[in-house]
Chain A
Amino acid sequence: QSVLTQPPSASGTPGQRVTISCSGSSSNIGSNYVYWYQQLPGTAPKLLIYRNNQRPSGVPDRFSGSKSGTSASLAISGLRSEDEADYYCAAWDDSLSGFWVFGGGTKLTVL
């Protein structure tokens, strides 16, 4: 049972825009930044979005992140076949001494 809630699956056709949601609580998303990671099949996760909406160098601007209250979203525009992967949201939780929490992941299928 993940602390952050994501839909288990999402899909779209090439060129389409898709969004993946991530829901948390006041102790994590509500008070801290949201991060997104992309995991291609059989590989390690890769940082996609940090501090809600910042892209590391090399990440295409087709990927964008947003946050509102205790929820966040990842949007992918101009969908491409190579975007087929698992996507995870993450946030710092202020409970106890502080710890990272992840969503359960969303498997994106490009039809």
Chain B
Amino acid sequence: QVQLVQSGAEVKKPGASVKVSCKASGYTFTSYGISWVRQAPGQGLEWMGWISAYNGNTNYAQKLQGRVTMTTDTSTSTAYMELRSLRSDDTAVYYCATGGWYPAPFDYWGQGTLVTVSS
């Protein structure tokens, strides 16, 4: 069965960077892209971007351009999302999900990683 297992919670100071991992299993990693979606406390879902696990092509949300980088390591079937210059409003649960290159939906989701940005 498809599983996405994310790295553990992080606490960062404003201005720092965070890198969240998402290890996939149960399918051929390069067959699907990986999307990242975040959810601030008590708020809705926000799409951050997508990466092709096949060729590394990316599509980032405009508001995060320049601060976010998504990568994959096909040797370990792991996707990564790095967010730089963290601000307090980046505090959120970060989810990875398979799919997301339209019209493919976000099929399977990781358990989420809480990133807290606080001085």
Contacts and interface: CB of A to CB of B under 8 A. Distances in A.
A96 B47 CA distance: 15
A19 to B, nearest CB: 19
A5 to B, nearest CB: 11
A10 to B, nearest CB: 15
A24 interface: no
Contacts of A63: none
Contacts of A50: 103, 105
A35 B61 contact: no
Contact of A105 (B45, B59, B100, B106): B45
Contacts of B110: 44
B109 interface: yes
B111 interface: yes
A98 interface: yes
A99 B46 CA distance: 11
B44 interface: yes
A54 to B, nearest CB: 9
A99 B62 contact: yes
B18 to A, nearest CB: 19
12 contacts: A2-B44, A33-B102, A44-B111, A44-B112, A50-B103, A51-B103, A90-B105, A90-B106, A97-B59, A99-B47, A102-B45, A102-B46
Given A88-B44, A98-B59, A102-B46, 18 more contacts: A2-B44, A32-B102, A32-B103, A33-B103, A37-B45, A44-B111, A45-B37, A46-B109, A47-B105, A56-B107, A90-B105, A96-B62, A97-B59, A100-B100, A101-B47, A102-B44, A103-B44, A105-B44
- Shortest 3 CB-CB contacts between residues of A and residues of B: A100-B47, A44-B109, A92-B102
